[in-house]
Amino acid sequence: MTDFRARLPQTEGGLFLTDAGLETDLIFNQGVEIREFAAHTLLTESAGRHSLAQYFRGFLSLADQHRTGFVLDSPTWKAHGHWSEALASSERELADINRDAISFIADLRDEFAGNRGPVVLNGVIGPRGDAYAPELSIRANESEDYHAQQIGWLAETEVEMVTALTFTQASEAVGIVRAANKAGLPIVVSFTVETDGTLPTGQELGEAVLEVDSATNHGAAYFMINCAHPDHFRDALHDAEWLRRIKGLRCNASRCSHTELDEAETLDAGDPHELGQLYRALHRKMPWVNVLGGCCGSDLRHVKEIIAAVAEDRIATESGSRAARYA
């Protein structure tokens, strides 16, 4: 049974958390091996499922502690056809693992049914190709046809939304938004940007948002930025109407470029407290942003600092507004 497909609660305000850098946390901090960086492979055996469950439990508990909502991601970022050969997975196996992944996070939501904020089941879909350095240009119609398969599998489950995570091209984002709209699933587009704040294609972030909205009649519920440090994109956040379409941030803990991260043999976890303060500054610039989490190199420590900084700032702002009204 789906509760939120018709209206996502995070679009109505209030703070929502996400998790952080799932793969980097499990691999580097927990010592869990993940084949081809594809977290859905952990679902096929009990130890992997336990590792995933323990990872998400920390974030679900944090959300309840701060009385925020939570966007609960499925580990399906690479559970689509592009990676089938590398993972030796058949189409049927991929379909089954997508369904199982949603069942897995639905069970976690049931476990945390007492949370004081809503928990939204989110099907994560990665780009067709490398999220750091896309190998090919994907036209919108090709993207729609390609991503419709995984979206179709997810639409048959309890999932309440999907997110196109670490997308690198506006044209591919257009296609997946169209596919999700046809399937009746709310979709969020989260773009990856380089150290200069542009997409890997060289397109300006604002131009990419406007292109997707124009080509899909504002078909995305909202947009996010992920897999980049705040220093990489804050100067690209110009005061323009498109900026209000950005409602979520999942930043890297490291200031390294994607090339540097790809070649790194050790984890750069950055400074969790500093990252929290950088989120506070971004939130002051964009107070409508209400979906907050982390990406590569970040873990529960970082998200704790992020929510503490932003929540404290929100409380101070609201208190100041009340005082001004009664002055």
Q: Is residue 7 part of a domain?
A: no
Q: Is residue 282 part of a domain?
A: yes
User: What is the reported pLDDT for 322?
Assistant: 44
CA 195 → CA 54, 142, 186, 260, distances in Å?
A: 32, 28, 30, 11
DSSP 204: B
User: What is the reported pLDDT for 317?
Assistant: 61
Q: Is residue 13 part of a domain?
A: no
CA dist 302 and 267 (Å) reads 14
Q: Is residue 108 part of a domain?
A: yes
8 exposure class (CB count in 10 Å sphere: 0-12, 13-18, 19+): buried
Q: What spatial distance separates the first Cα and last Cα of the chain, rounded to whole Å?
A: 48
Domain count across the chain? 1
User: What is the reported pLDDT for 2?
Assistant: 55
Q: Is residue 316 part of a domain?
A: yes
CB 125 within 8 A of CB 162: yes
Residue ranges, the chain, pLDDT below 70 = 1-2, 315-327
Residue numbers of the domain that contains 179: 21-326
User: What is the reported pLDDT for 259?
Assistant: 80
Q: Is residue 181 part of a domain?
A: yes
Q: What is the CATH number of the domain that holds 29?
A: 3.20.20.330
Q: Is residue 3 part of a domain?
A: no
User: What is the reported pLDDT for 266?
Assistant: 85
Q: Is residue 30 part of a domain?
A: yes
User: What is the reported pLDDT for 318?
Assistant: 55
